[in-house]
Amino acid sequence: MRRLLFIGLTTLALGAGVRAEPAMWTVHGTKGTVYLVSSLHLLPKDTPWRSAAVGRAMQAADSFVFEVPTGVSEHDEETKFIYANGLLPAGETLSAKLDDDGKRDWRRALDLAGVEAVNLDQKQPWLAEVVLTVQAMYRRNYSAQHTPEGEAHDFAARNARDIRYLDTTRQQLEFLEGCDPGNGIDQFRSVLADFPNQAAREERFVAAWQAGDLDTSAALVAAGLKDLPDEQKRLDARNHDWAKQIAAMLAEDRTFFVAVGIAHLVGP
């Protein structure tokens, strides 16, 4: 489920006659206004999602707010974090922790993602899962540039708008790392076994996002977190923190365009 929540999602063209209309909320405060826009982190170039409402919100915004920065200094911070927290102890390998069925699923997942075993075998399970998922999506020609987040960030930069972030790079990495209790090998085995089903399940999720179908989106998120109570608590805590930050923005005399993943915006 972490693939659905924290990494990008694949997509599926909607059937004829279905209008692409991702969910967006308008929130008014004592001084400010927030356009809260649902997004996905990776999409193919031809994904239909642009709506008149999102376009108007982008034009009206003074400030743009995203989940996490992705600049050069953040990349350096990411690299340092991975060396400190994303590698197995010397002499240990992921493949050695797998039984025969796990090794079979491991080889199949590597083939689907187009990744060499040597590039993953010394990574912690949480990091190996992230790399496998993202590389599989890149192999299917997905990009962060053609999402609501990506296009809004480019628009804000081109037009010298104020840009802010809800998390630091380190906070996001700590969040991902903390979703694996212990060494996370049991969850990693489950991820490997389920890897061939990833695209179809994500297509159902993304079709709901494109249509602005909040009930279906919420049901899919809830189903994925049903057996992961600790992960649900961490997601809830993150959402409460973001909500406080956004509430504070409403006291400013500005209009904000806030784009975050749809999984943060549905459910109780």
- Give 40-91 pLDDT, tens digit per residue: 888 877 888 988 999 999 999 999 999 998 776 777 888 888 888 889 999 9
Cβ burial of 99 (10 Å; 0-12, 13-18, 19+) is exposed
Structure token digits, residue 228:
């992961």
Query: pTM for this one?
Result: 0.83
pLDDT in tens, 196-254: 988 888 788 888 999 999 999 999 888 888 877 888 888 899 999 999 999 999 999 99
Give the span between the Cα atoms of 114 and 212, in whole angstroms: 33
Using alpha carbons only, what angle is made at residue 2 by residues 135 and 241, rounded to the nearest 5 degrees?
120
Give the span between the Cα atoms of 78 and 167, in whole angstroms: 13
